[in-house]
Amino acid sequence: MNTRHDLAPATAARLAGVGYIAIVFLAMGANFLVRNELVVLDDPAATMRNIAENETTFRLGIAGFCAIAMIDIFIAWALHVLLRVTGERRSLLAAWLRLAYTVAFIPGIAFMYLALQLSVGGDLLAGLEVSQREALTGLAMEAFDIAWLLALVAFGLHLTVVGRIIFASRIGPRALGVGLVIAGIAYIADTFAHALLANYAEFAGAFLAVVATASIVTEVWFMVWLLVRAPRAVGAFPRAERPTLATA
């Protein structure tokens, strides 16, 4: 007799929730305590100086973003295991979109490493003047921001699909599904506004408020649902797959 050891959807829900918690703490460190503290907008000289003086901290920020990318791959898999009880194809689409976000974001982390090398100097940069290194450092961090911004289109689509799955299947609260769709659309709209509006800075505050409110509220709610309600909800779902025993 061979026992089938597939991951249970309820376990996948809890694992995805734990992954979200890890991302929250890593993002607080890598983004808010490292990137936002060391990178000075419109002042590449100050940015390069800050990075050079806080090299270890900046390296920890790079490591944090790398960890976030890897955890996102893990979450994409766990959500597929959870949501495939509502339909295999829709669940796969949501997983692929989250993977697309991760793949698009990883090159941005390489731009952070480039900014680090430009800041600390070395033999490879011996031919560059300080002013050139400063300009390139600022450009590298701008490229990081753009890479992340473009990747968020795929992430927004991921949230939209997940929200649609939850709303249509009723595996979770329909209001949660609507909230995830709104958050996804907000991410997408913000990215295209960056690309299409020459005067985006005039509307940046409004876009930030909408994106931050929608994403924080709904994604925290989603995380709590994954940890608390989803394990029971998937067990009661009519099409839920349960471990079976196969006889040889």
Q: What is the pLDDT of residue 247?
A: 36
Q: What is the pLDDT of residue 161?
A: 97
Q: What is the pLDDT of residue 196?
A: 92
Per-residue burial over 40-76, b = 16 or more CB atoms within 10 Å of its CB, e = otherwise: beeebebbbbbbbebeeebeebbebbbbbbebbbebb
Q: What is the pLDDT of residue 239?
A: 57
pLDDT along the chain (248 residues), means of 10: 67 96 94 93 94 96 97 96 93 97 95 94 78 94 95 97 95 95 96 92 89 91 95 75 38
